[in-house]
Structure 1
Amino acid sequence: MSDRKPSPRSLKPAAKAKPGAGEVVLLSGGNPQIAKADGDAPVQAYIAAMPGWKRELGQRLDALIVQAVPDVRKAVRWNSPFYGVEGQGWFLSFHCLTRYVKVTFFKGTLLRPLPPGGTERSGEGRWLDIYEDGAFDGPQLADWVKQAAALPGWVP
């Protein structure tokens, strides 16, 4: 018998308690875990499960997107709401992180002015991080949404 202790990587993590019926699990950073599905209902379930101040922001974002693109297609993919145009692909998604909500434009490098978030490795994607104060330029965001919806979108 060895007196070596097992490495932390060799130990199995403790099982997590299963949520009750209808209860949404919040993943890292408070991001709601919502099953992959098409339509408005799963997006609204995601928004309803957003924690704290992020819920109101999710409602504002969803309303702004629908107003800018009335025939927008909605779905939840990878635990995030996705917005697209039928036959063109997805143009935008948002995701809860610990201190902010990230709004990602999949073809963001084609938008003018260029959205602020991006790195060398992010390819065409650009994003806007919105913090708890909720301050963002609504008209600019609506313009980016309209521009993004007019472009060929991302097709996984």
Structure 2
Amino acid sequence: MTGKPSKPTSKATKKTAAKATARTTVQKATAKKIVAKKTAATSAAASAKPRVAASDPPRLLSGGNPQIPKGYGDAPVQAYLAAMPGWKREVGRRLDALVERTVPSVHKAVKWNTPLYGVEEGSWFLAMHCFDRYVKLTFFRGAALSPVPAERSKIEGVRYHHIHERDPFDETLLGDWIAQASRLPGERM
């Protein structure tokens, strides 16, 4: 015998091979259709989602803290103050006005949904944040203030002052703390 040995082929073997090829072709086509349907459904769902208009009020996060995009200057801080819920809005506005009177050249920003105040941009001495029952003021060098704000932090040197709904707004004490804090080195963020 010369040449290659021939493979025995039968009609049954050819039919099985043809069926397997057809099945693979159908499976590939079905998979393409499924992917196309999922892509179309995803596109339709994405376009059907309600878009947040610029005029929509900011979403409130846990504790009633407004979700405000990061930004520098007075505008993002004013957006935060306007979005503070209930009695906290008035506290925020009074505090902001007090900071402006006490430190006329103050720099402002909103980062991490928190207004920040500093003597120079990127170096902050005070932050404000809404919680369910109070507005928290963070003095980044609060341990150096006199008198020292009562609420301790896990971070060395940081002290907090909480303002609850029925607490008096002690403008004299807060103004004194703001003036002292503005003369200390700021926290770089």
1:86 aligned partner: 120
**DSSP-derived class of the 1:103 partner:** strand
Within the candidate set 58, 66, 84, 1:24 is matched to: 58
Higher relative contact order (CA 8 A, sep 6+): 1
State the TM-score, normalized to the length of structure 2. Answer: 0.70
User: Quick one: which amino acid aligns to residue 61 of structure 1?
Assistant: L
In 2, distance between residues paired with 1:94 and 1:136?
Answer: 15
Structure 1 spans left out of the alignment, 5+ residues: 1-16
How far apart, in 2, do the equivalents of 1:129 and 1:80 lie?
A: 15
Of 30-39 and 126-135, deviating more is 126-135
Question: Which residue of structure 2 aligns with residue 12 of structure 1?
Answer: none
Q: Structure 1 residues 18 and 108 mapped into 2: Cα distance closer, same or farther (>3 Å)?
A: farther
SS class of match (1:122): coil
Superposition misfits of 4+ residues, deviation over 6 angstroms: none
RMSD: 1.6
Inter-CA distance 152–87: structure 2 relative to 1 (3 Å threshold): farther
**1:86 deviation in Å?**
1.4
Letter in 2 for 1:139: T
Count of residue pairs brought into register by the alignment: 139
Distance in 1, Cα, partners of 2:110 & 2:148: 26
Q: Which has the higher mean CA deviation after the structures are superposed, 130-139 or 108-117? A: 130-139
Instruction: Kindly provide the amino acid, as one letter, of the partner of residue 75 in structure 2.
Output: A
TM-score normalised according to structure 1 size? 0.84
Structure 1 residue 63 and structure 2 residue 122: aligned? no
Equivalent residue for 2:14?
none
Partner of 1:129: 162
**Pairing of 1:6-155 with structure 2 (within 5 A):** 20-21=52-53, 22-86=56-120, 89-119=123-153, 121-155=154-188
CA distance in 1, matches of 2:133, 2:99: 22
CA, structure 1 residues 109+24, in 2 after alignment: closer, same or farther (shift >3 Å)?
Answer: same
Q: Which amino acid aligns with 1:114?
A: V
Range with bigger deviation, 69-78 or 79-88: 79-88
Higher helix share: 2
SS in 2 for 1:25: coil
CA contact (8 A) 1:19 1:25 kept: no
Unaligned 5+ segments in structure 2 are 1-48
